[in-house]
A = this chain, B = another copy of it.
């Protein structure tokens, strides 16, 4: 059976003050009326029912996650005591799925991406599932045709078509986030795709691959797996998880496996990494402002202005700012200054205001 595993562990402050450590990006309604996580789950409609939809998140965020997804049983929100990148996350989920469904096929997807339209996404998932049905060893990556030489994404290179199923291709290379010139070369080559972090495989197969390529990690996961359903589960999870390697599933397995293959995923895809990037996905007023909530702008352009609740945010004569008001903190920043926002976070820590983060 097909299960969805939504990886919802991010805890960035790139959308501070809207996002916080305990209310990260994916739990925020950054694009649209519902949170990115809720949109990710809604995107599964008609593809995977709620009872086979799983979320993996940090314990800190588990309560807020369950509140946002009342259709899921509490135990469908799996908790990680700490973030360990995607390989342990995928392994933990695979172990839980196998415990209830020995033939589980996993659709793995991040919670914090903006994707559309939904029918192209569902069509791609169907093709991926078909590849796995066709050959149970396959580890399917979703490759998004790049639309610009983005430097913030990883790239994967397409090889020959799969012998038995021409809906997919072999993967011949993985490329880390490139510099601009390299990104342009990737695009000119015509056979590279953005690695969008969406995968499909059998649960037993990915665990086998983890055991082969990451034996130590695999042993740690086995300890946790043995405790599933027991009173000791949480305690063992906490003691074991901390010592697992923090490594992506790409580095851990996919780059080393001959079974990695890709399907072309021709949907719009954005790993929204900053306020600036977000506004490029949003509707703007004629002056290029992206406005949300109770906001009045006068002689202002190219600004992102958000307010929550009944609070009025008004601007006069400003340009290129991001202004975000939340009940306990307000940010006013140059919209493209991501590095500055990182320095702000450091400064707040230094000033003993980490409780705002």
Interface residues of A (CB under 8 A from B): 17, 296, 298-299, 307, 310-318, 321, 323, 325, 327-334, 337, 340-341, 343-344, 347-348, 351, 353, 356
B298 contacts A316, C-beta separation under 8 Å: no
A312 contacts B332, C-beta separation under 8 Å: no
Other-chain residue from B307, B313, B347 in contact with A296 (beta carbon distance below 8 A): B347
Chain B residue contacts of A329, Cβ below 8 A: 311-314
Which residue among A296, A310, A348 has the maximum number of chain B CB atoms within 10 Å of its CB?
A296
Contacts known (A317-B333, A317-B337, A318-B321); A312 close to B343, Cβ less than 8 A: no
Chain B residue contacts of A343, Cβ below 8 A: 298-299, 316
Chain B residue contacts of A325, Cβ below 8 A: 325, 330
Complex Cα distance, B307 from A356, in Å, reads 15
Complex Cα distance, B348 from A311, in Å, reads 14
Other-chain residue from B299, B314, B317, B341 in contact with A348 (beta carbon distance below 8 A): B314
Complex Cα distance, B313 from A299, in Å, reads 23
B312 contacts A328, C-beta separation under 8 Å: yes
Contacts known (A298-B344, A311-B329, A340-B298); A334 close to B316, Cβ less than 8 A: yes
A312 contacts B353, C-beta separation under 8 Å: yes
Complex Cα distance, B168 from A144, in Å, reads 85
- 7 pairs, A vs B, C-beta closer than 8 Å: A17-B314, A299-B340, A311-B330, A314-B333, A314-B348, A317-B340, A323-B330
A356 contacts B312, C-beta separation under 8 Å: yes
Complex Cα distance, B300 from A333, in Å, reads 9
Chain B residue contacts of A17, Cβ below 8 A: 312, 314
Complex Cα distance, B310 from A353, in Å, reads 11
Chain B residue contacts of A341, Cβ below 8 A: 316
